[in-house]
Amino acid sequence: MNLAGKVALITGAGSGIGRALAIEGARRGLELVLVGRREAALEKTREQIDADGRVDIVVADITLAADRKRIYAAVEQRCGGLDLLINNAGVVEVGAFGHGSDEITEAMLAVNLMAPINLTRCLLPLVQKKGGGRIVNIGSMFGDIAFPYFAAYSASKFGLRGFSEGLRRELVQEQIGVTYVAPRGVRTPAADSFAKLVAPMGMKLDDASAVALHIWNGIAREARDIYPRGPERIFLLLQRLFPRLIDGNLSKLTGDPAVREAVQPGQG
């Protein structure tokens, strides 16, 4: 896929992976529509881009139907259609499942799963107008390998992966591609929510700019899925073929005193 001149909408573009995707996308010559809830954060992203006016921002909450309609209207008026929809916005809530609440879980599922599903439905006609476009859903390695203390978050990303697979098979006759992206941990503000788990769980956090580069390279080659390079590919194979091995390995984390301390209420 030749990215130069294409129109891409990126949600969650005010920080983290979304901001890094915007900066790298502009470098590759895309026209960008940046969506997020905080105008100041979106403006800060735009300030870091040298794109000769090829960047628009839309301040919106993608969990709200009225705001999704505003996004549609803004894109239609400004660009006419859409080549790339990148569903990046997401939140992370971690901790012992029994210490959570309905409100926290529902809010996370609203952002991580329902919002990208509903936004895709809303904006699909704009992608169809362009023809041969692509929908990119930013998931997580936790959408393949669920960790203890990330149960509800993993559920949201498993759901996004399932949505991506089903939609890919539905849209193939329209020449619209669907890419599912599964980064491992990334150094972003969202990672602050599980910062105390990084060391005891042996997590590796990647730089957001490197992740964005990897994602854009995958989009350019019209990849079906984009996963990290490294041992995670082996873990994925083990998860699918020998899940009990992964069960045993990850279950040991719940007995680690450092992990247990990190997930106590008020400690995460």
| Number of Cα atoms under 13 Å in the Cβ half of residue 166 | 7
Question: What whole-number distance in Å separates Cα of residue 249 and Cα of residue 171?
Answer: 38
Phi, psi of 55 (to 5 degrees): -130, 125
Active site residue 72: no
Handedness of CA 13, 15, 18, 19 (dihedral sign): positive
Q: Which candidate in 72, 149, 153, 180 is catalytic?
A: 153
Q: How far is CA 59 from CA 27, 63, 128, 145, in A?
A: 23, 12, 24, 33
List Cβ neighbours of 177 (8 Å cut-off, separation of 6 or more). Answer: 133, 134, 135, 168, 171, 222
* Residues labelled catalytic: 153
